[in-house]
Structure 1
Amino acid sequence: MNKNIRKNIHQIREILAGFEKSDFHSMTSFYFSSGFPTGCCGDASDLLGLYLLKYHRLDSEYVCGRGLGDNSNLTHAWLVCQGYIIDITADQFNCDGYEQPAVIIDKQSQFHELFDETTCRPTNIEFLNGSGIPSVLAKVLSVMQTLENAL
């Protein structure tokens, strides 16, 4: 995966973590969660998928895993793009004894293999346009642009 895209993914994670609840669209899990990254994996994955598709023309798959450890109902979402697992919310499970970094971009992940079953869907701009995700992505990109202009 391109080094610049990797850098941008890390930057997107940092920006999302720095946002206040009021910075998020009210129709997103970012707005309703107890604090990023907890409970934000689906929308964070959709946001990254939309970013990769619109700004880098990279197709990705949204993956949802179910069943982690003793909790068969627990779910988690991440992206797969160019054979890489991309996850900017796995560290939400660190309070449960896992030791995940804030950003995962890797071809393999033992953590993601722990989920009992997974379902996938391609990232789709039309599907996401009906959500609050494009609004949040626009705010993230605005912050990224401001940071670039400051350099």
Structure 2
Amino acid sequence: MIKLLEEVTFIRQKIQSIAAVNRCFFGSDFPINACKHASMLLCYHLLKKDYNKALFLVFGVSKMRDGEVGHWWVESDGHLIDITADQFNLIEDCALSYKIKKNRQYLPIYCCPANQAPHSKIFTLVPKERWAWNEDDVCDIYLDELEILYRSFM
């Protein structure tokens, strides 16, 4: 678990370092609206580091009066890994659900047993949007962009 947290922290820090210059998938407003790309980059990194457990990209929604707020994170071996939850500390109240606002302050990194993260209280999972990370299922162009970005971290 400590090794996993180190790798997760490494990716979060690297994304933050490039976001200030609006690089690739990440803009200066990081972590806002970066959850899917950050989660995919995290999966990519963990596989490069020979992480041998299944990785799942997970999408959940939180209901609002006039719609929904969606969020992506990673789950693996009973753990929830989220490197962009702190965006909900920054987004204006009017764009968030009551449940999200009620559970503030969010950490920049969650790497913990899934039942210890606030996500299950806030988000309803969208089953068809939970998928195992497999590079064969990702567009080659997107993978090329991930690789270029990832190489810049090393």
The normalised TM-score by structure 2 is: 0.75
Residues 50 and 116 of structure 1: is their aligned pair in 2 closer, same or farther, counting only changes over 3 Å? Answer: same
Q: What letter corresponds to residue 61 of structure 2 in structure 1?
A: R
- Give the superposition deviation at 1:109: 3.7
- Secondary structure of the structure 2 residue equivalent to 1:106: strand
Counterpart for residue 37 of structure 2: 43
Distance of 2:59 and 2:34 partners within structure 1? 13
Q: Is 1:18 matched with 2:17?
A: yes
What's 1:148 paired with?
A: none
Q: Are 1:58 and 2:53 matched, yes or no?
A: yes
| Other-structure match for 2:140 | 130
SS at match of 1:139: helix
Partner of 1:85, secondary structure, is strand
Residue 115 of structure 1 is matched in structure 2 by: 123
Deviations for 1:29-73, whole angstroms, at most 9, x for unmatched residues? x2xx56211101011111111222332233211100012565641
CA–CA separation in structure 2 for the residues paired with 1:43 and 1:102: 15
The 8 Å contact of residues 62 and 78 in structure 1, kept in 2 or not, is answered as yes
| Unpaired stretches in structure 1, ≥5 consecutive residues | 146-151
State the AA in 1 paired with 2:87.
Q
Q: Which residue of 68, 76, 97 corresponds with 1:73?
A: 68
Q: How many residues align?
A: 136
